[in-house]
Structure 1
Amino acid sequence: MNILIIHQNFPGQYKHLAPELARAGHRVVALTPKVKEATRWNGVAVMPYAIQGRSTEGIHPWLQDFETKLLRGGSCYRGALALRAQGFTPDVILAHHGWGESLFLKDVWPKARLGLYCELYHLTTEDFVNFDPEFERPGADNERLRIRMKNLNNRLHEEVMDAGISPTRFQASTFPDPWRDRITVSHDGIDTDQVRPDPDARLEVADGRVLTRADEVITFVNRNLEPYRGYHVFMRALPEILRRRPAAHVVMLGGDEVSYGARAPEGRTWKQIFIDEVRGRIPDADWARVHFLGRVPYPRFLSLLQVSRAHVYLTYPFVLSWSLLESMSAECAILASDTAPVREVIADGETGLLVDFFDGAGLVDRLESLLGDADLRARLGRAARARIVADYDLRRVCLPRQVAWVDTLAARDPRPPRD
């Protein structure tokens, strides 16, 4: 079978699936702007295409969002035409459509089956538009209109999607009814053989200090430190956490940029805004126990999870972070926000503890109870890992399920492009 994979940052979500399909004997080709020249990666032929054009200056900002997707879709279309001219005809196309790249691929290969990675459909309900009133954008009604326009790319893809795959039930549930009967829920998978507890783990922080399992380490991980992932809630709780836990070290991972939501005002960063807000209430001796590591290589990230005594994870109702599942696989004792995506994997008192996203005082209280009860931490950590091994293991559960999904996709009658 000929399989084409489309991702603007290949391999992205196809890191494990693409090589697995190649090992199974399929001809797998990836088309991406990430490379400048054709290359091979783990049995996959990786082919370049160039993004042509740029956004129109002065265009309505709602259209600018779609125009960037249209430019990528047109550029990928030209790359696909070049592939077709070389004699390549895919039976199956797998694409993360979030950047618009796959908009016109059915126009190149109308008989191909198109399987989409359905990450999120943007909703206009209160939980999505105004979950955190502190960061409400001006003109809430206009925000709902903007979000609806943001789904233009989703809606155009729905017309040509033969099947979809979504990593969590929560993410799949955001898509409208016409999509859902074509979406399979299967996570990308966690390598539980690699992400596991290590009693001998060591993590170096500032000034050469090395933290181990013998230390009281509280961990907090985001791709970027920002409100969507509860950074502001955690930081506002930090002075009291440090006061109550005089031996604790707080270690935070995350960059200074923005992955989701609005940018920080006045060219500042969310990270520094909330440091500035709380720093005056934290004595220097306590602040020395707070460690910002930025972004780190994956082995160091694993070491952080493995030395963690309590791991805090907060999020809006949004895409669930891989780091939560990885922390569960590492047998961390987890305190997480009681929000819909989290409840899919964390049952309060069973695989972790939950707290209302906005309840900073409750966060401190539950964190203190977790740190003070070794038996509770051990029980929650074991149950968390057992959940991941049973339902999210990469090699034994998720990857076989994804391969089966591709096989089912290949057997479907393709949906042609519509006028």
Structure 2
Amino acid sequence: MKILFIHQNFPGQFKHLAGALAARGHNVKALTLRVNEVVAWNGVQVLPYAVARKGRQALHLWMTDMDSKVTRAEACFHAACKLRDAGFSPDVIIAHPGWGESLFLRDVWPEARMGIYCELYHLPGYPHLGFDPEFRRANEATEPLRIRMKNINNHLHFDIATAGLSPTAFQADTFPPGFRDRISVVHDGIDTEQLRPDPNAGFTLPTGRRLTRADEVITFVNRNLEPYRGYHVFMRALPALLAARPQAQVLIVGGDGVSYGAQAPQGQTWKQIYIDEVRGQIPDADWARVHFLGRIPYDDFRAMLQVARVHVYLTYPFVLSWSLLEAMASGAAIVASDTGPVREVLRHGETGQLVDFFDGAGLVREVAALADDPAARARLGAAARAHVIAHYDLKTHCLPAQIAWVESLSLPARS
């Protein structure tokens, strides 16, 4: 079977799937913005496409997102035409449609069947909109209208897609019934052989100090340190947490940018805004126990989770982070926000502890209680790992299901 992947940052969510399909003998290619020339990756031929520069044009603010998607879609269309003219005709196209690239590919290959990665459908009601009162927009009356416009790209893909794939039921269930029925829920997969407890693990701080499981290590991870992932809640709880846990070393992983939600005020970062807010409440000796690590290599990230005594994960009702399942696979004792995506994978008192997203005092109490209770940590961590192995393991569950989903796309539809 000939398969074409579309992802602006390939492999992205397809990092396991694309190579596995090539290993099974399929002819697999990918179009992406990530490379400048044709390269081979895990048996996949990765081809570039480039977005042409264009002059500035006047657009309604709600249309700028769609304009960038159409711009990428046109560029990807032209690259696809060259690929078609060179003799390549995919049986199946697998696309992450979030950046719009795949909008016009059925115009190039009308007979190809398309499967799309369904990350999120933007819902206008609470809690998907207006969850955090601190960051409500000035004109709330128009917010549902803006959100409706963000779904144009989703609706255009519904018309051309054969089926969808979503990593969690929470994400799949945001899609309207007419398309939800075509979505299979299969997670991207967690390598539980690589991510596992290690009693001999160690993590070296930038200061040179080496932390082990004998140390009290509290971890907090975001791709970027921002409100959507509860960074502000964690930072506001930090003075009380440090006071309550005088031996704790707090490790914070994440970049200075924004992955989701609003940008920080001009010239600032969310990271620094909340450091500035709480720094005056924290003595220098306690602040020395707080370590901002930025983005770290994956092997270091894995070791950090293995030495964590308590791992904290917070999120709005939004896309679930891989890092929560990775921490569970590592056997970490977890305190997480009691929000929809988290409740799907973590059960309070069984595989972790849940707290109200906004309850900083409750967060400190739960972290302190677990830090003082090795038996509870062992029980919760073991149960969390067992749950991930049973439902989210890459090799035994997720990857076989993903491959079966892709191969089923080439089959004729049942009447």
TM range (shorter): over 0.9
Query: Could you tell me which residue of structure 2 aligns to residue 355 of structure 1?
Result: 355
1:198-222 Cα offsets, whole Å, 9 max, x none, are 1111111142111110000000000
- Summarize the Cα distance change of 1:56–1:141 in structure 2 as closer, same or farther, 3 Å threshold: farther
SS at match of 1:165: strand
Query: Could you tell me which residue of structure 2 aligns to residue 214 of structure 1?
Result: 214
Q: How does 1:47-62 map to 2 (within 5 A)?
A: 47-54=47-54, 56-62=56-62
Give the Cα–Cα distance (whole angstroms) in 1 for the partners of residues 321 and 81 of structure 2. Answer: 36
Asked if 1:42 corresponds to 2:64, the answer is no
In the alignment, is the contact (CA less than 8 A) between 1:55 and 1:68 conserved in 2?
no
AA in 2 matched with 1:7: H
Query: Could you tell me which residue of structure 2 aligns to residue 175 of structure 1?
Result: 175
Query: Could you tell me which residue of structure 1 aligns to residue 139 of structure 2?
Result: 139
In the alignment, is the contact (CA less than 8 A) between 1:54 and 1:68 conserved in 2?
no
Query: Could you tell me which residue of structure 2 aligns to residue 417 of structure 1?
Result: none
Give the Cα–Cα distance (whole angstroms) in 1 for the partners of residues 250 and 14 of structure 2. Answer: 33
SS at match of 1:252: strand
SS at match of 2:31: strand
In the alignment, is the contact (CA less than 8 A) between 1:339 and 1:357 conserved in 2?
yes
In the alignment, is the contact (CA less than 8 A) between 1:162 and 1:412 conserved in 2?
no
In the alignment, is the contact (CA less than 8 A) between 1:165 and 1:186 conserved in 2?
yes
1:240-259 Cα offsets, whole Å, 9 max, x none, are 11111111111000000000
Give the Cα–Cα distance (whole angstroms) in 1 for the partners of residues 50 and 364 of structure 2. Answer: 50
Asked if 1:313 corresponds to 2:313, the answer is yes
Q: How does 1:315-330 map to 2 (within 5 A)?
A: 315-330=315-330
SS at match of 1:30: strand
Task: Give, in angstroms, the shift of residue 375 of structure 1.
Answer: 0.3
Q: Which runs of 5+ in 1 are unaligned?
A: 415-419
Asked if 1:367 corresponds to 2:372, the answer is no
AA in 1 matched with 2:113: R
Task: Give, in angstroms, the shift of residue 10 of structure 1.
Answer: 0.7
- Summarize the Cα distance change of 1:178–1:237 in structure 2 as closer, same or farther, 3 Å threshold: same
Q: How does 1:337-356 map to 2 (within 5 A)?
A: 337-356=337-356
Query: Could you tell me which residue of structure 2 aligns to residue 159 of structure 1?
Result: 159
1:292-351 Cα offsets, whole Å, 9 max, x none, are 000001001011101100000000000000000000000000000000000001000000
AA in 2 matched with 1:257: G
Select between 367-376 and 320-329 the one with higher mean Cα deviation. 367-376
Query: Could you tell me which residue of structure 2 aligns to residue 8 of structure 1?
Result: 8
Query: Could you tell me which residue of structure 2 aligns to residue 95 of structure 1?
Result: 95
Give the Cα–Cα distance (whole angstroms) in 2 for the partners of residues 54 and 66 of structure 1. Answer: 15
Give the Cα–Cα distance (whole angstroms) in 1 for the partners of residues 408 and 401 of structure 2. Answer: 11
Query: Could you tell me which residue of structure 2 aligns to residue 83 of structure 1?
Result: 83
SS at match of 1:104: helix
TM-score by structure 2 length? 0.98
Give the Cα–Cα distance (whole angstroms) in 1 for the partners of residues 75 and 383 of structure 2. Answer: 47
SS at match of 2:379: helix
Query: Could you tell me which residue of structure 2 aligns to residue 256 of structure 1?
Result: 256
Give the Cα–Cα distance (whole angstroms) in 1 for the partners of residues 393 and 387 of structure 2. Answer: 9
TM-score by structure 1 length? 0.97
1:122-178 Cα offsets, whole Å, 9 max, x none, are 110121220000011110121211111011111100111100000000000010111
Give the Cα–Cα distance (whole angstroms) in 2 for the partners of residues 20 and 54 of structure 1. Answer: 38
In the alignment, is the contact (CA less than 8 A) between 1:113 and 1:412 conserved in 2?
no
AA in 2 matched with 1:337: S
Task: Give, in angstroms, the shift of residue 412 of structure 1.
Answer: 3.5
Aligned residue-pair number: 414
1:105-138 Cα offsets, whole Å, 9 max, x none, are 1111111000000000111012122000001111
- Summarize the Cα distance change of 1:388–1:408 in structure 2 as closer, same or farther, 3 Å threshold: same
Asked if 1:197 corresponds to 2:214, the answer is no
Give the Cα–Cα distance (whole angstroms) in 1 for the partners of residues 80 and 178 of structure 2. Answer: 28
AA in 2 matched with 1:300: D
The percent identity for this pair of structures is 64
Give the Cα–Cα distance (whole angstroms) in 1 for the partners of residues 29 and 109 of structure 2. Answer: 15
AA in 2 matched with 1:149: M
1:66-93 Cα offsets, whole Å, 9 max, x none, are 0000000111111110010001111000
Task: Give, in angstroms, the shift of residue 230 of structure 1.
Answer: 0.3
Query: Could you tell me which residue of structure 2 aligns to residue 241 of structure 1?
Result: 241
Give the Cα–Cα distance (whole angstroms) in 2 for the partners of residues 193 and 353 of structure 1. Answer: 25
Task: Give, in angstroms, the shift of residue 20 of structure 1.
Answer: 0.7
Give the Cα–Cα distance (whole angstroms) in 2 for the partners of residues 337 and 55 of structure 1. Answer: 44
Give the Cα–Cα distance (whole angstroms) in 1 for the partners of residues 57 and 367 of structure 2. Answer: 49
Give the Cα–Cα distance (whole angstroms) in 2 for the partners of residues 266 and 113 of structure 1. Answer: 44
Give the Cα–Cα distance (whole angstroms) in 2 for the partners of residues 208 and 247 of structure 1. Answer: 18
In the alignment, is the contact (CA less than 8 A) between 1:53 and 1:71 conserved in 2?
no
In the alignment, is the contact (CA less than 8 A) between 1:236 and 1:360 conserved in 2?
yes
Task: Give, in angstroms, the shift of residue 58 of structure 1.
Answer: 3.2
SS at match of 1:102: helix
Query: Could you tell me which residue of structure 1 aligns to residue 378 of structure 2?
Result: 378
Task: Give, in angstroms, the shift of residue 55 of structure 1.
Answer: 6.9
Give the Cα–Cα distance (whole angstroms) in 1 for the partners of residues 210 and 264 of structure 2. Answer: 33
AA in 1 matched with 2:327: S
Give the Cα–Cα distance (whole angstroms) in 2 for the partners of residues 32 and 365 of structure 1. Answer: 46
Give the Cα–Cα distance (whole angstroms) in 2 for the partners of residues 413 and 307 of structure 1. Answer: 49
Task: Give, in angstroms, the shift of residue 368 of structure 1.
Answer: 1.1
AA in 2 matched with 1:243: A
- Summarize the Cα distance change of 1:65–1:212 in structure 2 as closer, same or farther, 3 Å threshold: same
Give the Cα–Cα distance (whole angstroms) in 2 for the partners of residues 412 and 279 of structure 1. Answer: 61
Give the Cα–Cα distance (whole angstroms) in 1 for the partners of residues 58 and 235 of structure 2. Answer: 38
Q: Which runs of 5+ in 2 are unaligned?
A: none
Give the Cα–Cα distance (whole angstroms) in 1 for the partners of residues 390 and 307 of structure 2. Answer: 23
SS at match of 1:103: helix
Query: Could you tell me which residue of structure 2 aligns to residue 185 of structure 1?
Result: 185
